Amino acid sequence: MTLIPSLLSVPVAPGIAARCAEARTVVLSNTPVNGEYRLLTLDAPVEVLACQPGQFFQLLCPEPEGEHPFLRRPMSIYGYDAEAGQLQFLYKVAGAGTRGLATLRPGDGLNVLGPLGQGFTMADDWQDLLLLARGVGLATLAPLARMAQQKGRRLTAICSARRPELAMSVDLFQGYGAEVIVVHDEDGSSAPDALRALIEARITAGRVDAFYTCGSSRLLRLLQDLGARHGIPGEIAMEQQMACGLGMCQACVRPFQEADGIVHRRVCREGPVFPIAEAIA
C-alpha cells in the first residue's frame, strides 16, 4: 500500500483544522450481502484509519464499460479497524460510480480520500440510545454501535426496510450488544404512526436519552417531533450531493435552523453529522 500525497489539512473554521489523506487501498473482497447491497472491504494504510463514526470518504470509482464517472463518490464508512488495516463500505449499485465499484475484484487497487467531515458525538448523560434508520442509512450508523459498546451505553437499533430480508446490519448491531427491532413495509410496522407508538413506549419506560438517524426526511421529522415533545436530543447524518468533499466548492450547502434564524452550512465540512433539532428535512 502506498500513500499518494502527504496528509491534507483542510480549514473548517477559524482555529480548527481537519486532516485527511489520499491513499491507494487494495480490495480484499467485494461481495453481495442481499439482493440490493454489496460490502466492499479494503486493505488500507493506517493514515486513513483514524476515523470517527459518521465520517465519509471520497472514492475514485473505476469506469464501468461505456461510462465515465467524472467526480469522486462520497461514501459513508461502514467499518474501520486500524489494527487489522481494514476499511469497509456498504453500497447499493445505483449509478455509474457504484457500477464501477461493483467491478472491483480482490487484488484491485482503489484510490480513497478521507476520512472527511465531522462524526457523531455521545454526551456523557446519553446512556440509553435509540438508533432509527432505513436502508443504506443503517450503514452510516453501523460504526455508532461499536462506539456505544466501547462507552458502555445501552443501544436499541430500529432497522427499517421494504421487506424483512432487506433489513441491513442486523447481525452487526446484535454483535455489539444492541437490542434490534426490525420494522418493514409489508406488515405496516415501518409506518410513521407505528414507529411513533413504538418509540413513545420506550420513552415512557425511561429508555431513551438520545436519538440517532441518517438520511430519511420522514424519520427526521418523526424524531424531531418526539424530541421536541419529550426534550430528547440527538444527531443526524445528512445525505447530500457533493463534489469536492472538502468544503471548497460549496455544492453541498443546506439550510439549518438555529435559535436566531436560518443559517447555511456545508454538509461535507460542518457535517455530515448535525443536531437533529437544527436539521431541515
Binding residues, by number, are 73-76, 97-98, 244, 249, 252, 268
Residues of the binding site for [2Fe-2S] cluster: 244, 249, 252, 268
Q: Side-chain half-sphere of 221: how many Cα atoms within 13 Å?
A: 6
User: Phi and psi at residue 278, in whole multiples of 5°?
Assistant: -95, -15
Q: Which residues are annotated as a binding site for FAD?
A: 73-76, 97-98
Contact between 25 and 1 (Cβ < 8 Å): yes
The 3-class SS string of 25-85 reads: EEEEEEEECCCCEEEEEEECCHHHCCCCCCCEEEEECCCCCCCCCCCCEEEECCEEECCCC
Task: Give one DSSP letter per residue of 216-254, joined into a string.
Answer: -HHHHHHHHHHHHHHT--EEEE-----SSSSSSS-TTEE
Q: Which residues of 13-33 are buried (b: 16+ CB within 10 A; e: fewer)?
A: eeeeebebbbbbbebbebeee
The SS3 of residue 138 is helix
